[in-house]
Structure 1
Amino acid sequence: MKKQLPITRRSFLSATAAGMAVTAFPFGNLSLAKVNRDARFILVLARGGMDGLALFPPHGDPDYRKIRGRLALPKEEDGGFLKLDRTFGLHPAASQLLPFWKRKEMAIVPAAANSYRGNAHREALLHLDSGLDAPSNPQSGWLNRAINAMGGEAVPAVSISDQLPLVLAGPDEKGLIQTVPAATSSLPGFYQRVALLYQDDPLLRTALAQEMGQQQNRQSGLTEDDQAADAGARPVSELSVMVRTAAKALRAQDGARIAVIETSGWDTHAAQGSLEGQLARRFSSLAGGLELLASEMRDDWDKTVVVVATEFGRTNSPNKDLGTDHGLASPMMVLGGAIKGGKTVGAWPGLVSRTSELSKALQPSEDIRAVFKSVLVSHMGVEAATVDKTVFPNSEKIKPLSGLL
């Protein structure tokens, strides 16, 4: 039997009411950097493994249509992907992101992954949130350690969730991190209550019954690890509500400078869809939420960086259920008024592996920590040595990704 890890991403918290203020934690005697206290950083976590190859289809890869099969998007001239450059396109359901690219406020890191090389959500999430190579018993998250390196209380953070995520957690108390409850539309029994309310409306009654049936079918076919993939995050359909809350906190003169927003619904093992379908609807929610975030940040958008990260990508080719399984690397999105966008940053390894004719998973060309390091050092002003030794311990060989900021 597989050994159970002693600490989960939620077990750092004692039983506190949702919305209660909780605190960050120091990590030894850190020399405080001359941080940019006017900069904003927003980390959007796509729990469950988002298919970046669907969001940013690599249409210029010669093996794209052969490998993606029925999940490949139609060509641009046939009403398919929106062209970004010679290699990458954009899923049309996420068309709200296209203006960011044109304004050079969005960049793509073509093939990023954390240090985990397995296919279990739980371990992958621990790697992503802790920032460690072997997080069997993590005592803190990498963003918590970064906040303390920046002075703790001087750079407050906000978590838009019901419980503090591991990425912000730590063992001691210092530096305010406020946990703000997310929207409540996904409370247990929500769909059943709405169905009862509209039981006399044949159109809505049928649509709600179909949605509840699809949810039950998805859950019944998933493993225990898959069912835990969302890690308590809220559905991405609620992103607009969450970004309004985050932006309000980040705009305040003495408010938060860092925000973490968790979204769920990205574990698409079956009936993923291509041009339309469940994943397309989630891309629409993601893009719409990010568009609203830029609007809500107002004059502070030009000093904001947003990183959308997931614990692992999906398989390159579809499975028998026309979904995708757990993969490795994935195209990654960085956007904001403070970045140098309108381009890809990092190498594209290609869909075909050097050691296999049809590789099952995209091979990483960048460590995801290189992206985080770039934001922390170049945008937030954390000392590079502190990032290498304290925020991401023993990571000196991983250099900040150049060209983003």
Structure 2
Amino acid sequence: MIGIRRESGLMKKDGGGGVQSLRRSRIAAAIFVGILLGCVFAFFYPDGFFVSSPPIHHSVANSDSEVITSSCESSERINMLKSEFVAASEKNAELKRQIRELTEKLQLAEQGKDNAQKEVLVLGEQKKAGPFGTVKGLRTNPTVVPDESVNPRLAKILEKVAINRELIVTLANSNVKEMLEMWFTNIKRVGLPNYLVYALDEEIASLCESRNVPVYQRDPDEVKRETDKNFESVARTEGNHAVSGLKFRILREFLQLGYSVLLSDVDIIYLQNPFEHLYRDSDVESMTDGHNNMTAYGYNDVFDEPSMGWARYAHTMRIWVYNSGFFYIRPTIPSIELLDRVAGRLARENAWDQAVFNEELFFPSHPCYEGLHASRRTMDYYLFMNSKVLFKTVRKDAKLSQLKPVIVHVNYHPDKLPRMEAVVDYYVNGKKDALDPFPDGSQ
């Protein structure tokens, strides 16, 4: 029995050691497998199965440093944006300037085009020439597009005064006050509502307002440029001839606004409605200083030079000048170019406005000079009569004295006011001897 117990105890002892050894081996194997699997998963899934943003931990020092860095970066960014904005603004201004220059060049190019091409574009397609004797060229240039931004205040006045976008315009300062009163008195008598006095000083403006005469005067604050100051000085203080030269600059605004103007000096007596006797087929329709068919409408004048022998006779074409104190001008590109040319020359030269007016109208293109391509018409000198025709011819002819002219322009005589009064007495009041006291010419 005792032997059996001892053997049994030994077996327990040996068997327990083996079990423990086996258990340790299993634990070691499990640890090994776990480590192995951990390495495998660590290799294939370095961020783990569930990826989430790791919490950010800032120290106080790091936080302050980042705020300062962010602030500096913001300031630099703002400065950079400001620089970019300034650069963009400068570039934008430069682009606007270039656009403005291109627009001006385009406008000049348009003005420089041949008028016939403009007429084709406006009036229709090009056509073939018809049979012999049936071909007739275009006479009337297209009018410009009205631009009320040129002078909005004047535009409003013209809307009320003009009829069919045309009106009579005169310039006046206090030096011609008496003639102006006679001028608008006779216009009223004829019944013409579409006329305007361009007052060059306050006295004339007040006179017109008191007599219910349509008037326009520039505001003092409209005088901004030095040239305009010179303009005002002449307008207020100079006599009839100096003032006459201003009309070419003034008329430009009327044409730009799209109105046809019958420009009139104040030494004119109106006896009929002139708008009923206009053709309106030309850029400029003017009365003449001529006194018969040859001088008014042109003639072939032969120049004799005996030293040339067989070729001693040279034929020339002549016409007496248009009167720059009474003409009808349409709002066309050639008309505006005419006004610009005359006004420009009068500003540079000490010249007579009527001479310059005619030179620009009639001189042809030649080397170093490009002539004006403007159409023109000479008015009937018996209807639109100058004082030479009246006092030298008409009053002495029984038949011609029965005619009633549309206007009489006392342009050939310096004693204007008494002759104007005599014209009214003769044609309006029926005094047949009213013209007799005056000589043909001036004394």
Where on the TM-score scale, by shorter chain, does this alignment land: which range? under 0.3
Whichever structure has more helix as a proportion of its residues is 2
User: Rg bigger for which structure?
Assistant: 2
